[in-house]
Amino acid sequence: MQEDKKMQHFAHVTQAHPCFNEKIHDKVGRIHIPIAPKCNIQCGFCTRKITDKENRPGVASCIMSVDEAIEHIRKTTSQMPISVVGVAGPGDALDNPETLVLFKKVREEFPDLILCMSTNGLLAADYAQQIADVGVKTVTITINAVDPTIGAEIYDDIEYDGKVYHGIEGAKLLLDHQLKAVEKLSDLGVVVKVNSVVIPGVNDEHIVEIAKTVKAKGASIMNVLPLIPLNKFKDVKKPGCGELSTIRKQVEEYLPVFRACSQCRADAFGIPGVKDQDFSLEMVPNSHY
């Protein structure tokens, strides 16, 4: 019975969320609010920036205050069809207390909008009840390894509770928190999507193990993403379409796979991937608050 309710809730959310349903990905809009600059882990493929020049996760033109974000939502929802408000950086949503403050205010003023966040998952188990209480319906957790040995190759620094962890110790700490978060959030009725970045030669043969593990913890859907070569993986070749297709087919034996991700900026808004309907703040006059 509980599983039936979960599937009903998942179906309801995916009817309106462009990042959970490929059929509506190019028909309804979302707003990413750049309110979260700090991050408590350092991924080997991530370089966070305030920039107008790059079109990828981890970048934004500015960092908004909560009040600026609310005004941005008012303006945007008056001009285009928006179904989702999310926080996806440019750092980690939960390493910035403004995120939950924003969600509370959005829920009060815009009760029909789906609230969504992306996180590395380090703090998501600690905040699971608060996430559910402010009305967040979907959480995306990026999990790139369920083997700490592989995780140690991907993550350089894990900062938790005032201490910085490295290597296998850090990767194990992160993984433990991530899997607890998937389980806790799913039990609270939040739809959990897991993002996994394919890094050739590091975790490309490990993605299906991630799928098996997170499905057992309650994840509902998975997104398999190609590496954007940056930072210490800047010289690693981006995985090709054939390689991604093979991995996604393997994952689909365990979880549905979302295949239309645009790997958006942290300040993107509009309809994902649609020309003249998908924007970021640097494209909008007077957008620097």
Asked whether residue 145 is assigned to any structural domain, the reply reads yes
At 257-273, the pLDDT tens digits run 987 556 677 787 765 54
Asked whether residue 124 is assigned to any structural domain, the reply reads yes
At 187-196, the pLDDT tens digits run 999 999 999 9
Q: Which residues contact 272 (CB under 8 A, 6 or more apart)?
A: 18, 19, 25, 26, 29, 30, 260, 262, 264, 278
Asked whether residue 17 is assigned to any structural domain, the reply reads yes
CATH number at residue 220: 3.20.20.70
Q: What is the pTM of this model?
A: 0.86
Asked whether residue 204 is assigned to any structural domain, the reply reads yes
Question: Structural domain tally of the chain?
Answer: 1
Asked whether residue 243 is assigned to any structural domain, the reply reads yes
Q: Which residues contact 73 (CB under 8 A, 6 or more apart)?
A: 31, 33, 82, 85, 106, 109, 110, 113
The pLDDT > 90 percentage for the chain reads: 63
Bin 190: left if φ > 0, else alpha if -120 < ψ < 50, else beta: beta
Is residue 231 helix, strand or coil? helix
Mean pLDDT, residues 33-42: 94
In this prediction, residue 44 has a pLDDT band, given cuts at 50, 70 and 90, of confident
Of 174 and 266, more confident: 174
At 57-71, the pLDDT tens digits run 677 888 999 999 999
Asked whether residue 289 is assigned to any structural domain, the reply reads no
Whether the bond between 272 and the residue before it is cis, its omega within 30 degrees of 0, is: no
In this prediction, residue 51 has a pLDDT band, given cuts at 50, 70 and 90, of low
At 79-88, the pLDDT tens digits run 888 888 999 8
Give residue 245's domain range.
Answer: 2-279
Nearest CA to 30 among 268, 222, 192? 268
At 177 the pLDDT is 98
Asked whether residue 84 is assigned to any structural domain, the reply reads yes
Contact 36, 283 (CB under 8 A): no
Asked whether residue 285 is assigned to any structural domain, the reply reads no
